[in-house]
C-alpha cells in the first residue's frame, strides 16, 4: 500500500524547478501526481477556474499548493487560501514552512503586531500562501489590500477550501462563505479553485451558483478509498464491542470514535480511559480551550483516541488515523463517508467500523419527523437516511454501494466485511408477516399501539403483566413466533423499519403500519435478511458465500509497528520515531508534519546510506533533506545490524 518507488528503481530524472512536476518532486518529495492532481494543477496554473471534488484524503491541498509555488516562482505573487478552520491554520502553515514554502495565516488568534507583520509580508509579494478565514477575506480592509496587490500584479490565486460550506444543505454551512463571490466580481482575472469532499449533486450545484463558478472546470475524482475497510456490525453490547475492536485490532493506534450526543461522548471517553485507552472527549459543549488542548494532543501525541460528536474532524489532516468508529448512526451517507474518510489518509490500512441497531433507526427517523424543518427538506432527509439504512442492511459489497451513491460504478472490493465474509441470510418473509399482522391486531383493539418490547413478547408468547392487562394472550398472533429468537426479532423489526414497511410513532416509539406493509402481509415480497452477526456462528455452515469470493488479506495485529519490517528495521523505525518526536516538539508541530509514518517506514526499510539515496524516498523534499538529512543518516547508522 506504500506509494513509494521500489528500492531498485533508478532516480527519476530531475524535473525543472519551475514546472509542476519539479515542484512536486523537489518541494514535496513525491514522485508522482495522484489521480486528477496533474490535470487540475495544469488547469489552475494556466489561469483557469476549477471546482475540485475529491474524497477526504485524496490529496486536495497539493492542487492549490503546487500552483501557488509555481506561480510564485514565475512571477512572485500571493495565493490566498480561504479556510473555515482557524484552529488548524497554525499547523497547515507550519507544514508548508517545513517544506521551505513561505506561508502564513491571518486570524483572530494573532496579536495586532503579528497580524501587521504578516500583512507586510503579503504586501511585499514575498509570501507564497496566505491562509485566512472567510470573514476576514471579505472585510473592506482586506479587500483594499488585495486591490493593491492586484494593481501590482501580485495576486496569484484564490483557493476556497471546504467549499461545501457555502451550501445550506450541508451541516457545515457558514454564512460568511456567501460573501466570497466578491472575489470573482472584484478580481475576475485571478484564477479560483474551490475544493470539497462533498460530492452530491445539490451541494455541487450550490457551490457553482453561489461562488459564481459557472465557467469553472469541474474535476471529479474517484471517491474510492481502497485502503479503508468498511465494517458495519449489529449493535449488541456496544461498549464491549468497541472495547474488543479497539483493544484487539487497534491497540496503541490513533482513532476517532463518533457518538451522537455530548453526554455519550463524555461517558464513552471516561469509560475508555478506565479501560486503559488514551481517550479524550471533544464536542461543542466543551470550553474552547479544552477543545483546542484535546485536538492538539490528538494531533501531536501518538495513539490518542478522540471520542467526539461530528463537531470534530473537518480539516483534521492527521495522516495516521488508523480507525474511525461510529457508535451511533450518522444522518446520511455523505456524513458517514466524510467521517470515515478521516481514517488512513497516509494510504496504509485503516478501519471504518460502525455498530448499529433498532434504536438507531428509530431515533434517526424520529429526529427527522420531529424537526421543525419544512416538509420538503424532511423528505430529502428521509431519502438520505433510507440510503444509509440500505447500506447498513446490505449483504453485498459496502464499497460498491457507497461509490454508487456518488454515481461511481465499481466491482466488489474484497476489503469490506461483506466481501471478506459473505453474511449468512435467512428467509424472514414469514416472520415479517407475523410481526406486521400482530401490529394490525393490536390496532384493531381500539386503535392501540405498542413498541418493540411488547410486540416481541406477544410474538414469542411470553406471559407478562402487560400481556395479561391487554388480554393479548387471546390474540391469534400470540406465541406464533416462539421459535424466533429475540435478537432475530429485533433484526426483523429494524429491517422492516429500514425498508419502510413499518414505522414508529410518538414518544414511546409505538409501531404503525405503512402503505407498503400490505405487500409484505400479502406475501408479495420475499425478505431475505442479514443474519445477526452479534453472535457469530462460526463453522456451523449457516454462512453462505455469495458474490465475489475473496481471500482475506493478511492483517498486521499490532499496528503501532508497520507491517513488513524485520526486527532490525523495526528498531530503526523506533529510533526514527523518537528522533521525529524531538524535532516536532522543538518546532511546536505535530510529528507527521516533520515526516509521515509511511516515510519513516521506508527509511527504516531501505536504510539509505547517502543523502542521494535518502532523497529517493517518498516524502523527502529538498528542504527536508537539507534540514534533516545528515541527522537521519546518523540515526539510521547508529542502529546496529
Residues of span 274-333 touching ligand ADP by CB under 6 A:
317, 319
d(CA 337, CA 349): 16
Does residue 623 interact with ligand ADP by CB under 6 A?
no
Per-residue mark of binding to Zn ion, 380-409 (x: CB under 5 A): -----------------x-x----------
- What distances in angstroms separate CA 238 from CA 76, 242, 414, 576, one per listed residue? 55, 6, 26, 37
Q: Which long-range contacts (CB under 8 A, 24 or more apart) does 636-641 make?
A: 636/572, 636/575, 636/576, 636/603, 636/604, 636/607, 636/608, 636/609, 637/609, 638/575, 639/568, 639/571, 639/572, 639/575, 641/568
Residue 318 binding partner per list Zn ion, ligand ADP, none, with a CB distance cut-off of 5 to 8 Å that depends on partner kind: none
Cα 223–Cα 225–Cα 230 angle in degrees, nearest 5 = 115
| Residue 597 interacting partner from Zn ion, ligand ADP, none (CB closer than 5 to 8 Å by kind) | none
Report helix, strand or coil for 218: strand
Q: Looking at 21, 43, 50, 57, which residue binds ligand ADP (CB under 6 A)?
A: 57
Binding at 159: pick from ligand ADP, Zn ion, none (beta carbon under 5-8 Å per type): none
Residue 130 contacts residue 105 (beta carbons within 8 Å): yes
Nearest CA-CA partner of 193 in 162, 155, 159? 159
Distance set, CA 81 to CA 61, 136, 157 (Å): 10, 11, 8
Nearest residue (CB) to Zn ion, 50 versus 397? 397
The C-alpha atoms of residue 108 and residue 114 are separated, in whole angstroms, by: 11
User: Distance between CA 526 and CA 245 in Å, rounded?
Assistant: 34
Size of the site for ligand ADP (CB under 6 A): 18
- Binding part of the chain for ligand ADP, among 57-65, 248-256, 388-396, 603-611 by CB under 6 A, reads 57-65
CA distance 436 to 462: 18
User: Site for Zn ion (CB under 5 A): which residue of 89, 190, 413, 529?
Assistant: 413
Does residue number 59 form part of the binding site for ligand ADP (CB under 6 A)? yes
Which residue pairs, CB below 8 angstroms and at least 24 apart, start in 86-90? 86/133, 87/291, 87/292, 87/295, 88/315, 88/316, 88/317, 89/131
Rounded Cα–Cα distance for residues 338 and 200 (Å): 12
30 binds ligand ADP (CB under 6 A): yes
Q: Which of 118, 163, 166 is nearest to 145 (CA)?
A: 118
With respect to ligand ADP, which residue has the nearer C-beta, 164 or 433? 164
Residue 17, helix vs strand vs coil: coil
Selected from 68, 277, 391, 416, the binder of Zn ion by CB under 5 A is: 416
- Give start and end residues of each alpha helix (H) in 588-621: 591-594, 597-606, 611-615
d(CA 286, CA 293): 11
Binding mask 74-113 for ligand ADP (x = CB under 6 A): ----------------------------------------
Find where cell 500552483 sits: 67
Of 400 and 584, which has the nearer Cβ to Zn ion? 400
Is residue 164 a contact residue for ligand ADP (CB under 6 A)?
no
- Our CB check for Zn ion shows the closer of 397 and 594 to be 397
Q: Which is nearer to ligand ADP, 34 or 76 (CB)?
A: 34
Minimum separation from the CB atom of position 580 to ligand ADP (A): 15
Question: By C-beta, is 198 or 510 nearer to ligand ADP?
Answer: 198
- Residue (346 or 417) nearer to ligand ADP, CB: 346
Q: What would the x/- binding string for ligand ADP be over residues 323 to 352, using CB under 6 A?
A: ----------------------xx------
Out of 43, 58, 94, 213, the only residue in the binding site for ligand ADP (CB under 6 A) is 58
Q: In sequence order, what DSSP letters do the residues of 21-68 get, joined into one string?
A: HHHIIIII--SS--TTHHHHHHHHHTT--EEEE--TTS--HHHHHHHH
- Taking CB under 5 A as the criterion, the residue among 80, 86, 286, 419 binding Zn ion is 419
The values of phi and psi at residue 202, to 5°, are -65, -50
The cell for 420 is: 471478506
Within 83-130, where are the H helices?
Answer: 86-98, 112-124
Q: Give how many residues touch Zn ion by CB under 5 A.
A: 5
**Closer by beta carbon to Zn ion, 172 or else 351:** 351
Task: CB nearer to ligand ADP: give 41 or 419.
Answer: 41
C-alpha cell, 259: 457518538
219 binds ligand ADP (CB under 6 A): no
Task: Specify the residue, 319 or 562, whose C-beta has the smaller distance to ligand ADP.
Answer: 319
Residues 343 and 228: beta-carbon distance below 8 Å? yes
- Minimal distance, residue 626 CB to ligand ADP, in Å: 19
Select from ligand ADP, Zn ion, none the partner in contact with residue 480, using the beta carbon and a kind-dependent cut-off of 5 to 8 Å: none
Partner whose binding site includes residue 229, from ligand ADP, Zn ion, none (CB under 5 to 8 Å by kind): none
Minimum separation from the CB atom of position 498 to Zn ion (A)? 20
Tell which residue, 505, 500, 502, has the closest CA to residue 379.
500
Answer for the pair 259, 265: CB distance below 8 angstroms, yes or no.
yes
Candidates 34, 251, 331, 460: give the one binding ligand ADP (CB under 6 A). Answer: 34
List 41, 50, 53, 60, residue binding ligand ADP (CB under 6 A): 60
CB of 529 to Zn ion, least distance (A): 19
Kindly indicate which of the ranges 26-34, 306-314, 467-475, 575-583 contains the residues binding ligand ADP, using the contact rule CB under 6 A.
26-34
Please identify which residue in 62, 321, 352, 368 interacts with ligand ADP, judged by CB under 6 A: 62
Q: Which does 413 bind (CB under 5 to 8 A by kind): ligand ADP, Zn ion, none?
A: Zn ion
Judged by the rule CB under 5 A, the positions of this chain that interact with Zn ion are 397, 399, 413, 416, 419
Judged by the rule CB under 6 A, the positions of this chain that interact with ligand ADP are 3, 30, 32-34, 37, 54, 56-62, 317, 319, 345-346
Amino acid at each position: 500500500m506504500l506509494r513509494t518507488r521500489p528500492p531498485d528503481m533508478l532516480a527519476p530524472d530531475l524535473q525543472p524547478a519551475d514546472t509542476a512536476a519539479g515542484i512536486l518532486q523537489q518541494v514535496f518529495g513525491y514522485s508522482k501526481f495522484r489521480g486528477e492532481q496533474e490535470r487540475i494543477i495544469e488547469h489552475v496554473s494556466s489561469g483557469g477556474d476549477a471546482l475540485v471534488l475529491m474524497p477526504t484524503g485524496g490529496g486536495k491541498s497539493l492542487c492549490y499548493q503546487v500552483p501557488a509555488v509555481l506561480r510564485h516562482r514565475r512571477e512572485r505573487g500571493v495565493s490566498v487560501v480561504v479556510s473555515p478552520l482557524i484552529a488548524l491554520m497554525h499547523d497547515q502553515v507550519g507544514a508548508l514552512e517545513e517544506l521551505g514554502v513561505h506561508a502564513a495565516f491571518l486570524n483572530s488568534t494573532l496579536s495586532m503586531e503579528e497580524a501587521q507583520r504578516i500583512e507586510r509580508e503579503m504586501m511585499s509579494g514575498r509570501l507564497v500562501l496566505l491562509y485566512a478565514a472567510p470573514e476576514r477575506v471579505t472585510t473592506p480592509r482586506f479587500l483594499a489590500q488585495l486591490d493593491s496587490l492586484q494593481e501590482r500584479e501580485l495576486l496569484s490565486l484564490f483557493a476556497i477550501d471546504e467549499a461545501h460550506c457555502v451550501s445550506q444543505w450541508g451541516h457545515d454551512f457558514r454564512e460568511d462563505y456567501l460573501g466570497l463571490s466578491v472575489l470573482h466580481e472584484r478580481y475576475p482575472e485571478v484564477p479560483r479553485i474551490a475544493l470539497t469532499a462533498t460530492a452530491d449533486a445539490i451541494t455541487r450545484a450550490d457551490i457553482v451558483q453561489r461562488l459564481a463558478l459557472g465557467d469553472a472546470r469541474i474535476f471529479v475524482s474517484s471517491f474510492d478509498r481502497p485502503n479503508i475497510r468498511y465494517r458495519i456490525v449489529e449493535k449488541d453490547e456496544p461498549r464491549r464491542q468497541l472495547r474488543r475492536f479497539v483493544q484487539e485490532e487497534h491497540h496503541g493506534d490513533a482513532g476517532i470514535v463518533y457518538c451522537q450526543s455530548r453526554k455519550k461522548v463524555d461517558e464513552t471517553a471516561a469509560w475508555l480511559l478506565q479501560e486503559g485507552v488514551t481517550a479524550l472527549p471533544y464536542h461543542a459543549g466543551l470550553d474552547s480551550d479544552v477543545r483546542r488542548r484535546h485536538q492538539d494532543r490528538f494531533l501531536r501525541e501518538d495513539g490518542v483516541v478522540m471520542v467526539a460528536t461530528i463537531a470534530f474532524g473537518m480539516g483534521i489532516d492527521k495522516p495516521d488515523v488508523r480507525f474511525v468508529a461510529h457508535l451511533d448512526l450518522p444522518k446520511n451517507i455523505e456524513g458517514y463517508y466524510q467521517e470515515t474518510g478521516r481514517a488512513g489518509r497516509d494510504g496504509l490500512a485503516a478501519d471504518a467500523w460502525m455498530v448499529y441497531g433498532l434504536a438507531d433507526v428509530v431515533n434517526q427517523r424520529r429526529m427527522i419527523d420531529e424537526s421543525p424543518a419544512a416538509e420538503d427538506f424532511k423528505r430529502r432527509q428521509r431519502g438520505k437516511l433510507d440510503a444509509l439504512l440500505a447500506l447498513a442492511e446490505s449483504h453485498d459489497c459496502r464499497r460498491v454501494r457507497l461509490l454508487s451513491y456518488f454515481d461511481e460504478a465499481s466491482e466488489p472490493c474484497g476489503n469490506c466485511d461483506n466481501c471478506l465474509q459473505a453474511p449468512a441470510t435467512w428467509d424472514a418473509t414469514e416472520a415479517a408477516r407475523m410481526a406486521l399482522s400482530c401490529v394490525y391486531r393490536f390496532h384493531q383493539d381500539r386503535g392501540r399501539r405498542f413498541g418493540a418490547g411488547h410486540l416481541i413478547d406477544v410474538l414469542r408468547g411470553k406471559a407478562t403483566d402487560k400481556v395479561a392487562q391487554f388480554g393479548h394472550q387471546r390474540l391469534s398472533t400470540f406465541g406464533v413466533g416462539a421459535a424466533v429468537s429475540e435478537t432475530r426479532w429485533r433484526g426483523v423489526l429494524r429491517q422492516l423499519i429500514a425498508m419502510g414497511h413499518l414505522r414508529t410513532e410518538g414518544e414511546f416509539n409505538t409501531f404503525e403500519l405503512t402503505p407498503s406493509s400490505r405487500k409484505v402481509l400479502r406475501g408479495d415480497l420475499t425478505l431475505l435478511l442479514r443474519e445477526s452477526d452479534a453472535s457469530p456462528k462460526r463453522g456451523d455452515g449457516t454462512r453462505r458465500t455469495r458474490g465475489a469470493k475473496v481471500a482475506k488479506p493478511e492483517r498486521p495485529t499490532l499496528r503501532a509497528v508497520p507491517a513488513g519490517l524485520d526486527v532490525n528495521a523495526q528498531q530503526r523505525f523506533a529510533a526514527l520515531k523518537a528522533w521525529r518526536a524531538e524535532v516536532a516538539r522543538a518546532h511546536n508541530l505535530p510529528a507527521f508534519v516533520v515526516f509521515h509514518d509511511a516515510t519513516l517506514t521506508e527509511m527504516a526499510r531501505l536504510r539509505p546510506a547517502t543523502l542521494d539515496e535518502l532523497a529517493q524516498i517518498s516524502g523527502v523534499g529538498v528542504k527536508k533533506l537539507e534540514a534533516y538529512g545528515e541527522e537521519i543518516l546518523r540515526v539510521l547508522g547508529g542502529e546496529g545490524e
